[in-house]
Amino acid sequence: MRKCNLCYDRTSQGKGPMCTTVCPTQAIFYGTYEEWVAAGRGRQGAKPVNTFFFGRQQVRTRNYVVLTEEHEELDLLALLDARTLGKGSELPQATAARHVDRWVDAQTAGVPERAAPPNPWTPREPQPFTMPPSPGYFSRPNGQAKGAKGA
């Protein structure tokens, strides 16, 4: 694994990093704050924040995280204290069992059974192949091969 270099080969040519150009949800933005505002990203109540707290230590970086309007900074230790990892939370019911048919075996579903080779993990021997004679390209009406010299 290597550290991200923001696709130096692309950014040195004026292009954005690959992650920002292919992100289907446009969750990653590469550019200046002014470009972010001009792109209309702040219209939905989002605000970029570059002040982070690690306990009592405040760190200001050149990288921004987009938060809601009411947050001025990101307190990482407070987030760690508030984490529940899903314990005691009211999770919605799983929807995987809705709108699906019950599992049936192949015989009930009418799928024909195929014979498996006795040792499927071993290499298989190639089947012999013979080329059928083909009139046209390889032979001429007089019986000589194409390109053959003679009478």
Q: Is the pLDDT of residue 146 over 80?
A: no
Distance CA 109, CA 70 (A): 57
Q: Give the containing element (helix H, strand E) for 68.
A: strand 57-68
CB 51 within 8 A of CB 72: yes
Q: What is the pTM of this model?
A: 0.39
Q: Where residue 93 falls among pLDDT bands split at 50, 70, 90?
A: low
Give the pLDDT score at 31: 83
Q: In what order do the strands lie in the sheet with 57-68?
A: 57-68, 46-54, 74-75
Q: Tokens in use for 107?
A: 């015989």
Give the pLDDT score at 56: 83
Say which residue the tokens 């446009």 belong to: 26
Say which residue the tokens 């001429």 belong to: 140
CB 138 within 8 A of CB 146: yes
Span 66-88, pLDDT tens digits: 777 777 777 777 777 777 666 66
Which ranges constitute the DSSP H helices of 39-133?
A: 76-82, 106-109
Q: How much of the chain, in percent, has pLDDT values that exceed 90? A: 0
5: number of Cβ within 10 Å: 9
